[in-house]
C-alpha cells in the first residue's frame, strides 16, 4: 500500500470545504441529477480532493506562464478554408435516441 500519509499531509480529519448547497450548485452547472444518497458522498470526496490539490498553494509560481499544451513550442496548425466533410446524417442518426424526418427530436425548449 502506498504510504501517502508520509508523502502528503493528507489528514483523516479534513475540512468539509464544500457545503451541500455548493454540491447542488456544481451538479446543476454540470447538468447532473444526483440522488439524495449521492450528496454526502460527493460533498466528502470533493472536499477531500480540493483539500488535496491545495498542496499547490505552497508552490511559488510567480512569473510562471501557465502551460496549456505539452508541446509548448508548437503553434496551432491552420488548414485551407475548404469543405472537407460531406453530409453523413443518414449514417449518424441511427445512433440518436429520437429522430423524425432527418431531425433530432428533443423536448420542447421554447414555450
Binding site for another protein (CB under 8 A): 1-4, 6-7, 10, 18, 22-23, 26-27, 29-35, 38, 41-42, 45-46, 48-50, 52-57, 59, 61, 64-72, 74, 76-77, 79, 88, 91-92, 94-98, 104, 106-109
The per-residue DSSP string of 4-46 comes to: HHHHS---SS----S-HHHHHHHHHHTT----TTHHHHHHHHH
Cβ-based nearer residue to another protein, 83 or 109: 109
The C-alpha angle with vertex 2 and arms to 70 and 10, in degrees rounded to 5, equals 80
Q: Half-sphere exposure of residue 3, counting CA atoms within 13 Å on the CB side?
A: 2
Look at residues 61, 23, 67 and name the one whose alpha carbon lies nearest to residue 44.
Answer: 23
Minimum distance from residue 106 beta carbon to another protein (Å) = 6
Minimum distance from residue 50 beta carbon to another protein (Å) = 7
Cβ-based nearer residue to another protein, 68 or 101: 68
DSSP type of residue 103: E
Minimum distance from residue 20 beta carbon to another protein (Å) = 13
Minimum distance from residue 82 beta carbon to another protein (Å) = 12
Amino acid at each position: 500500500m502506498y504510504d501517502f500519509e508520509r508523502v502528503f499531509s493528507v489528514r483523516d480529519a479534513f475540512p468539509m470545504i464544500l457545503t451541500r448547497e455548493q454540491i447542488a450548485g456544481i451538479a446543476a452547472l454540470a447538468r447532473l441529477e444526483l440522488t439524495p444518497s449521492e450528496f454526502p458522498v460527493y460533498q466528502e470526496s470533493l472536499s477531500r480532493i480540493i483539500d488535496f490539490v491545495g498542496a499547490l498553494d505552497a508552490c511559488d509560481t510567480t512569473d510562471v506562464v501557465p502551460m496549456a499544451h505539452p508541446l509548448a513550442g508548437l503553434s496551432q496548425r491552420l488548414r485551407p478554408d475548404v469543405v472537407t466533410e460531406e453530409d453523413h446524417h443518414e449514417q449518424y442518426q441511427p445512433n440518436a435516441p429520437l429522430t423524425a424526418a432527418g431531425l433530432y427530436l428533443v423536448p420542447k425548449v421554447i414555450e
